[in-house]
């Protein structure tokens, strides 16, 4: 990717220095033509705004670079059409999915305009989290390891091996369905609050002491969990400013799920047989 970016920068530099285009940016509606096809000023202005949103400063050099990019894009797209590239292989499906992704992003953006996340809402969620971590089961956070099995009988076999002295980490690597944690011997990398765990794992973890493995597997929608408590400490709530972005993102994710749920309530879905 970096090599491609460097190539594009080099191409842009050559275009600027050689004067490939010589169109006035004050030209009403059109800033260049490529093989007779118009490059529109509105597209230039949109890309300038996008660049500014990413921290760039509007300048003649920036506009020259963006215009050159638009010229290159148009030339490439013309060649794509000429060679019928969009019809080859599964390209039509890939283009369709890419277009769908853009439209879905626009749909979510429109939903968020009507249901904005407010500072009051973020503060309320922070206060809620602060309240539930002052006392009770979420006043402590835990480091845990786990082995996830596909059936209760498989879980019981692993528990029997552990009781016979087998190594937990090795069994996790060999047996666990959670391949990400299995690679680390079953260890979950982050400190976790009980309520962040799939029920009823939180209560199981609380009932363990450091280094102990649960004597029974716990079932969830992911499988059968054999859990070990590796460490425990008092939970220290980050400040509001430290938490604000994370809370905002969690509310955003919840908003998206709400939007999908409301939409699907109105949808008629008939599976084919």
In a domain, 244, yes or no: no
In a domain, 165, yes or no: yes
How far is 181 from 145, CA to CA, in rounded Å? 8
In a domain, 254, yes or no: no
How far is 164 from 89, CA to CA, in rounded Å? 56
In a domain, 124, yes or no: no
**What pLDDT, on the 0 to 100 scale, is given for residue 28?**
60
| Total structural domains within the chain | 2
In a domain, 118, yes or no: no
In a domain, 261, yes or no: no
In this structure, are 69 and 140 located in the same domain?
no
Q: What is the pLDDT along the chain (273 residues), one digit of tens a residue?
A: 444 444 444 444 444 433 444 444 444 699 999 999 999 999 999 999 999 999 999 999 999 999 999 999 999 999 999 999 999 999 999 999 999 999 999 999 999 999 999 999 999 999 988 888 887 888 899 999 999 999 999 999 999 999 999 999 999 999 999 999 999 999 999 999 998 888 789 999 999 999 999 999 999 888 999 999 999 999 988 999 999 999 999 899 989 988 999 899 999 999 887
**What pLDDT, on the 0 to 100 scale, is given for residue 23?**
42
In this structure, are 64 and 155 located in the same domain?
no
In this structure, are 147 and 86 located in the same domain?
no
Domain span at residue 143 reads 134-234
- On whether the CB atoms of residues 210 and 140 are closer than 8 A, the answer is no
Q: What is the CATH number of the domain that holds 162?
A: 3.10.50.40
**What pLDDT, on the 0 to 100 scale, is given for residue 221?**
85
In a domain, 168, yes or no: yes
Select from 91, 124, 152 the last residue of a domain. 91
In this structure, are 154 and 228 located in the same domain?
yes
In this structure, are 76 and 143 located in the same domain?
no
In this structure, are 86 and 19 located in the same domain?
yes
In this structure, are 220 and 146 located in the same domain?
yes
In this structure, are 79 and 10 located in the same domain?
yes
In a domain, 8, yes or no: yes
């Amino acid at each position: 990717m970096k090599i491609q970016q460097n190539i594009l920068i080099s191409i842009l530099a050559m275009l600027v220095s050689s004067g490939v285009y010589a169109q006035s940016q004050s030209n009403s509606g059109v800033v260049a033509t490529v093989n007779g096809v118009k490059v529109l000023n509105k597209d230039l202005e949109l890309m300038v705004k996008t660049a500014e949103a990413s921290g760039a400063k509007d300048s003649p050099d920036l506009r020259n670079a963006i215009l050159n990019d638009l010229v290159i894009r148009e030339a490439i797209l013309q060649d794509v059409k000429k060679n019928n590239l969009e019809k080859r292989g599964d390209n039509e499906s890939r283009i369709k999915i890419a277009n769908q992704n853009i439209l879905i992003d626009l749909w979510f953006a429109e939903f968020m305009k009507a249901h904005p996340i407010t500072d009051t809402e973020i503060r309320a969620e922070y206060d809620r989290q602060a309240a539930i971590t002052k006392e009770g089961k979420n006043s402590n956070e835990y480091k845990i390891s786990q082995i996830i099995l596909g059936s209760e009988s498989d879980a019981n076999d692993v528990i029997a091996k552990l009781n016979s002295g087998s190594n937990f980490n090795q069994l996790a690597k060999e047996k666990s369905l959670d391949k990400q944690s299995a690679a680390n011997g079953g260890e979950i990398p982050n400190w976790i609050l009980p309520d962040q765990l799939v029920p009823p794992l939180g209560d199981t973890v609380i009932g363990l002491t450091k280094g102990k493995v649960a004597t029974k597997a716990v079932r969830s929608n992911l499988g059968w969990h054999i859990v070990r408590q590796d460490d425990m400490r008092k939970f220290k709530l980050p400040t509001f400013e430290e938490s604000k972005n994370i809370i905002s993102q969690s509310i955003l994710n919840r908003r998206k799920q709400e939007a999908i749920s409301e939409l699907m309530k109105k949808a008629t879905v008939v599976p084919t047989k």
